[in-house]
Structure 1
Amino acid sequence: MSSCSLDDKPVDVVDILPRLKTLSSAEDFFDALSVKYDPKVLASARLHVLKRMGQYLATEDFDGLPDRVIAARCRSYLERAYDDFVTSSPLKERVFKVLKDNDPDRPVKPGTAFVDFDDILAPLPPRG
């Protein structure tokens, strides 16, 4: 087993990307890459952290790189993604489309989400 970890638990770097693709929980990623975490942070941001890590990984071209380098970059991106949510929150970071689309700081396109006040106060049509 090769190591790219400075912690006491070495990271098995052999075929790291295919192995990461088989993982199913945030904790599995943290364990596989030997990254320490606070369970309280993951309780509220696990999917956000993994999504952000994926965004960081999407900027990389791993073709031809040695497993040791790939593992080190994956570990670095997981640490960076995790740190984003230690110092911020899912609502502030808005990594998912549903949160981006409902950002109160982003201007709303005219006619897309506006309900005229008169429409709210209009009487209901008679039943019958």
Structure 2
Amino acid sequence: MNELAQRLRELSSAEDFLDFFAVPYDTHVVDTRRPHLLKRFFQYIRQEPELPADNEQALYRCYRALLIRSYGDFLAAPMPARERVFRNADAHVPRRSLSPTLPSATHKLVSREPA
């Protein structure tokens, strides 16, 4: 097994990958787009027609360029709804439909602690 492949297996978070490939990043962007960033990175790797197989330095540079591209995708525009992991609940359940099921301010809350 080559050294680059071994080192990549040790990485787990988006920050690990960004640090390993020396890509400067904004922590807020990574915090809000972490799963999407790595997913896009691996999609780009799979789509790459010719990855340099016999040259680790060239492969490192190629992976780095793909990670920079992935990160850049999320800097340019807001995340499309189809890529969001956590969708806005209001988009699926109108607040008005929840109102009858919620206790009103006139209901007395009862403590369940023993007296």
Smaller-chain TM-score bracket: 0.5 to 0.7
| Structure-1 residue corresponding to 2:63 | 74
The change in CA–CA distance for 1:95 and 1:20 in structure 2 (over 3 A counts) is farther
Match 1:51 to one of 10, 20, 39? 39
Structure 1 partner of 2:19: 31
**Aligned match for 2:79, one of 90, 99, 106:** 90
Higher helix share: 2
* CA distance in 1: counterparts of 2:84 and 2:51, whole angstroms: 23
Once residues 27 and 15 of structure 1 are traced to their aligned partners in structure 2, the CA distance between those partners, rounded to angstroms, is 20
In the alignment, which residue of structure 2 is the partner of 1:116? none
Q: Distance in 2 between matches of 1:94 and 1:81?
A: 13
TM-score, length of structure 1 as denominator length: 0.57
Q: Residue 30 of structure 1: CA displacement?
A: 0.7
Count of aligned residue pairs for this structure pair: 85
| Structure 2, unpaired ranges of 5+ | 88-115
Cα contact 1:52–1:81 (8 A) shared by 2: yes
Partner of 2:53: 64
Which position in structure 1 is the counterpart of 2:6? Answer: 18
Which amino acid in the other structure matches residue 15 of structure 2? E
Aligned mates of 1:56, 1:77 — CA distance in 2: 6
Structure number with greater Rg is: 2
When residues 68 and 86 of structure 1 are mapped into structure 2, their CA distance, relative to the original with a 3 A threshold, is same
1:63 shift after superposition: 6.0
Provide the rounded CA distance (Å) in 2 between the counterparts of 1:18 and 1:89.
Answer: 34
The CA RMSD over aligned residues, in Å, is 2.5
Identical-pair percentage: 33
Pick closer, same or farther for the CA change 1:54–1:32 going to 2, 3 Å: same
* SS state at 1:65 partner: coil
Contact 2:18 2:24 in 1 (8 A): yes
- Amino acid across the alignment from 1:29: F
| Gap regions ≥5 residues in structure 1 | 1-13, 100-128
